[in-house]
Each structure stands twice: as C-alpha cells, then as structure tokens.
Amino acid sequence: MPNIGPAELLIVLAVIAVVALLVTLVVTAAVRAARRPATTPPPNRPVAPHDLEAALRDLVAGGRQIHAIKLLRQHTGLGLKQAKDVVDAIAAGHSHPMLQSLQRPPAGARPDLATRVRELKAAGRAEQAVHLVIGETGMGQGEAEAFVQTL
C-alpha cells in the first residue's frame, strides 16, 4: 500500500469538497425549479377590442399580470409603462380611460372585425367570415378559422 502524505490527503479532501459542492448546487437548482410555478402562455386566441378588458381582467385575476401587459401591448401598441399602468388599474379594481375608449367605437365608424364576423356567422356565412378575417388581419387559414369559431 502506498504511503499517503499530507499533500496528497489535502488534494483528496479538496476533490471531495468540490464534488460535494457541485452536487449541492445541482440539487438546489432542481429544488428551486420544482418549486417555481409553471408559467402558462397567454391565451392563444385572438381577442376582439371590446373583449380585451375582460381578457385582461381574467389574466390579472389569475395572477398573470405580465401576460396581461403583453396582451395589452399587442392589441394597442402601448409602451411598457403605459400598459403596466393600465394593468395595475385593473388589478386595483378600477377601469382605465384607454380601455373605455376601446369599448365604444367612434361615431360613424364601421363595426369592428369581430362584430362583422359575428354577423356573418349568424347569417350562416362562416366561410365568408373566415375570408374576411384572413383579408383584414393576414392570419393563416387555421388561425382565421379558430378566430371565427371562438366568436
């Protein structure tokens, strides 16, 4: 059996300590990842302007403020600060003037896309509704069909 001196013993102990530290870090990271709530993406369905506030309220009620901010920015083009202010107002139980303007179209304006699609569906012209959505939004066939079906 070889003779192990103090230098070799220190090296072996250092290697053991490093391995133990790495195992601890990996286990800690795994535990943190397991405890972290799974994030769910925002709804993958189009939201009509007059349904936007309801969709935002649902997201906020579910604790998904970041998704609400993203959805709001996507549909309005607001900046991050402005969208956060609107979502914060919703979280506080208030409405926001920006959202109120979405609820009422300007006088003399034609109905929004969702309203026109609903009218076509009610008249039994779902295929024409899909073509209308494709023409006005640039959506693909599947996305447009999903939009029409959700209305």
- 25 occurs within a structural domain: no
22 assigned to some structural domain:
no
Q: Clarify whether residues 84 and 119 are in a common domain.
A: no
> What are the pLDDT digits (tens) for 48-60?
566 788 888 889 9
Total structural domains within the chain? 2
Local mean pLDDT, 10-residue blocks, the chain (151 residues): 79 92 91 71 54 85 91 80 87 75 59 84 88 84 85 74
Given a contact cutoff of 8 angstroms between Cβ atoms, the answer to whether 117 and 48 are in contact is no
Is residue 70 domain-shared with residue 115, that is, in the same domain? Answer: no
Same domain, 100 and 112: no
Q: Which domain holds residue 67?
A: 45-104
Cβ-based neighbour number of residue 147 at 10 Å: 22
Neighbours of 87 (CB within 10 A): 25
Instruction: Judge whether 36 lies within some domain.
Output: no
Whether 60 and 75 share a structural domain: yes
Quick one: how far is CA 29 from the chain centroid? 25
Q: Calculate the average pLDDT of the chain.
A: 80
Instruction: With 0.85 as the threshold, say if the pTM is over it.
Output: no
**13 assigned to some structural domain:** no
Claim to verify: residue 111 and residue 99 sit in the same structural domain: no
Pair of tokens at residue 142 = 């599947």
